[in-house]
A and B are shown apart, each in its own frame.
Chain A
Amino acid sequence: MKILIKNAQICSEKEVSSPCDVFVDNGIIEEVGQKLSAPSDARVIDGKGKLLMPAMFDTHVHFREPGQTHKEDIQSGSEAAINGGITGIVMMPNTCPAIDSPTIVRDLLDKAKQVSRINVYTSGCVSKGRKGKELAAIHGMKEEGVLMLTDDGDTLDDPSLYKKAMEYATEFGMFFASHCETPCLSGPRAMNEGKKSYELGIEGSPAISEEICMDRDIRLAHATGAHLHIQHVSSGIGVKTIKFWKEMGARVTAEVCPHHLIFNEGDIGDYDTNFKMNPPLRTAEDNAMLLQGLKDDIFDIISTDHAPHTDFEKKSVDFISAPNGITGLETALVSLYHAFVKKGDLDWPLVVRKFSAEPRRMMQLPPVPIEKGGAAEFLLFDPESQTTFTKEFFQSKSINSPYIDQTLDGEIQLVLLGDEVLLERGV
């Protein structure tokens, strides 16, 4: 298949180019330049006024397989990723049963090869069954391709077990990802402790619950020489904690999710469970500190923490009982454009770096810049168009999104991976 995209601006980690043409043949970017002429059998796409950028990569998604495939599965989750311009993902292992053995890893990745049109990777548990009692089959999972170890969804409560895991797995070049929370400080884990939790009569989970655990886990990593990745940071003081440890020379990386940058506890309104996730939305001050942390490279990557739950689970019970999590794959890029890039608070090169290149590097994969000779793995974004997140728009099995029925500026119009057009709309 031959495709010629004309007059699009190309985004890299460094810059946004002036309009130029990109010619792709058989999944390879054959030429990048001005006024390229298309062979007669090439498809020509007008990219005028639009941006061509490397496809995104999400290191934090919940595809609920095995065990909770009524919420999502590898196939539907992959289609959701495509809908959001994402061509590679790392699944979290908090499934039923948990992804804690080489057999489960192999089964899932085999299945992904059959049902998914994107690159699917999985993380594995640190502890067997995520129970925090004994180590999971760490090296066995490594043999099947696992790099990232995490008990995401919960904290590994026992620091001595975590320390042993770090000492053991670092030898194999694996790294760790921490969901930071101090359970005894978190109450029912429903929302931030603050003005809003008092108003709603809910025992809140204070930011210190996250910060104390974050500090503990980074200290463990620093002491053992392990690489630790801090997941979904929601607290402004957390950003300072990570900065401190980076300066101390700890091997720590961190991610921030679009919802923690954009929303705060006030958005929960009258018990809206589409704003309920863990760690919770905190304050406007935290939003500002997180955004600054992203600009200052305290955050290495952006991830979504895509956490699908059915409407019934989210809506038919009270707020505290409703499960934590919102979907994010399909809204992340557009929401970042709408909230920040459009207003000049963030620029495209930063988005490409944090949401496409760095996540791939963390997973020891090469980034996918739009350069001559490179593999085609990119998306076309129209800043002048809009996206309406209707129920029908979502490819995920679940629609627990704060953007349900909202219209945002920006639209992903084309997603290409190798020789396959994964998504096409409005071009």
Chain B
Amino acid sequence: MNSAPKDFLDIASFSKEDLTSFLDNTMQMKEIFTRSVKKVPTLRGRTVLMLFYENSTRTSTSFEIAAKRLSADVTNFDVPRSSVQKGESVKDTIDTLEAMRCDYVVVRHPMPGFAKNLAGLTNMSVINAGDGQHAHPTQALLDAHTIREVHPELEKKKVLIIGDVLHSRVARSTSRILDKLGAEVAFLGPGSLVPKHSKFSRFTNYEEAIAWKPDVVYLLRVQMERQTAPFFPSTAEYHNLYGITRERLAYLSDHGIYLMHPGPFNRGVEICDEAVDYERSLINKQVENGVAARMSVLYALKPQTSSFIIE
């Protein structure tokens, strides 16, 4: 990277070279995990603020571990969930946070563009941990790294993303990073849940999609809370049409196809029981790599806060 970026908001803001550099750093960060003392002093004296307006255990924990392995202090800004509402002033929030003299803020918010808004109003480095349906760029980074571990050359590798692409920030960010790195991406899912306006091709049934010979099948979580709005008739029908059934798993196994899922998964909906323990499942790898990818991001950013300017 020519100059250290202040924020990490979405994949679109970075070039292929920038992203490759984040990925190379991720690999180095992972090396730290093999040490007996899994900690380096890089961010000693820095404070990372966790600002989560949506429930999250996996992502917030992953960020917290990442920050701590870099020796940063981590504080959770407890957002009363009940006060999360439409039209909340970002400015008011940020004034409060600025006063606490933190250096990094990791934010998750239900409204798309929230992280971007925040970044424009603060000297702190803003890391987007998910803004509505828009972006989840650290997930994209960890996904790309996970695929690189099994397919070091991403160029022309085929990734089939299955599920609720329309509402998924993971699908948006991960498809974008894979595309930038030269991999091929295609979508499969119910017509009501796959966008018509994306640049990626879309398959309408599983057989057609698998005949495309993907190297990786990436499953998205079926968001059960969306089932109040009838995007498809039932989870059983979804499982039959788009789920990884036992038979489909056997095919993946025979053809050496890897399986990914951002978690948490719904057994019996997008994935059958057996698939969880599939030998080419990368699901646990994704979790492990999440910490390294987030360390790589924290390491690369340069806040404009006073402590950094004094330095």
Contact of A200 among B91, B109, B134, B198 (CB under 8 A): B134
Residues facing A in B248-284 (CB within 8 A) are none
CA distance in complex: A52, B264 (Å):
68
Chain A residues within 8 Å of B166, by CB:
198
Write the nearest CB–CB distance from B196 to chain A, whole angstroms.
Answer: 9
Q: Contact check, B86 vs A321: say whether CB atoms are below 8 A apart.
A: yes
CA distance in complex: A233, B116 (Å):
31
Q: What are 20 A-B contacts defined by CB distance under 8 Å? A: A197-B197, A198-B166, A200-B112, A201-B131, A201-B132, A202-B133, A312-B89, A316-B90, A316-B92, A318-B109, A318-B111, A318-B112, A318-B117, A319-B113, A320-B111, A320-B113, A320-B132, A321-B87, A321-B88, A321-B111
Write the nearest CB–CB distance from A187 to chain B, whole angstroms.
Answer: 11
Describe B's contact surface by its main secondary structure: loop
CB of B68 closer than 8 Å to a CB of A: no
CA distance in complex: A319, B90 (Å):
11
Residues facing B in A161-200 (CB within 8 A) are 194-195, 197-200
A195-B86 contact, Cβ under 8 Å, with A201-B169, A271-B113:
no
Chain B residues within 8 Å of A203, by CB:
133
| A contact residues, range | 10 to 19
A320-B90 contact, Cβ under 8 Å, with A201-B172, A202-B133:
no
CB of B195 closer than 8 Å to a CB of A: yes
Q: Contact check, A317 vs B90: say whether CB atoms are below 8 A apart.
A: yes
A interface residues (Cβ-Cβ under 8 A, vs B): 194-195, 197-203, 270-271, 312, 316-321
Write the nearest CB–CB distance from B20 to chain A, whole angstroms.
Answer: 23
CB of B14 closer than 8 Å to a CB of A: no
CA distance in complex: A354, B244 (Å):
60
Q: When A and B form their complex, which 3 residue pairs have the shortest distance between CB atoms, in order from nearest?
A: A201-B134, A201-B133, A318-B111
CA distance in complex: A319, B131 (Å):
12
CA distance in complex: A197, B114 (Å):
15
- Count of chain B residues with Cβ under 8 Å from any Cβ of A? 25
Of B86, B117, B169, B198, which is in contact with the most chain A CB atoms at under 10 Å from its CB? Answer: B117
CA distance in complex: A201, B86 (Å):
16
Write the nearest CB–CB distance from A361 to chain B, whole angstroms.
Answer: 41
A313 and chain B: residue at smallest CB distance: B87
A317-B198 contact, Cβ under 8 Å, with A200-B134, A271-B113:
no
Write the nearest CB–CB distance from A183 to chain B, whole angstroms.
Answer: 15
CB of B135 closer than 8 Å to a CB of A: yes
Residue interface mask B149-183, A partner, CB < 8 A = 1: 00000000000000000100100100000000000
Write the nearest CB–CB distance from A153 to chain B, whole angstroms.
Answer: 17
CA distance in complex: A116, B217 (Å):
66
Q: Contact check, B197 vs A194: say whether CB atoms are below 8 A apart.
A: yes
A202-B90 contact, Cβ under 8 Å, with A194-B197, A195-B197, A318-B117:
no
CA distance in complex: A263, B92 (Å):
32
B199 and chain A: residue at smallest CB distance: A195
Q: Contact check, A271 vs B117: say whether CB atoms are below 8 A apart.
A: yes
A318-B113 contact, Cβ under 8 Å, with A201-B131, A201-B133:
yes
A188 and chain B: residue at smallest CB distance: B86
Write the nearest CB–CB distance from A252 to chain B, whole angstroms.
Answer: 31
Q: Contact check, B88 vs A317: say whether CB atoms are below 8 A apart.
A: yes
Contact of A198 among B111, B114, B131, B198 (CB under 8 A): B198
CA distance in complex: A114, B116 (Å):
45
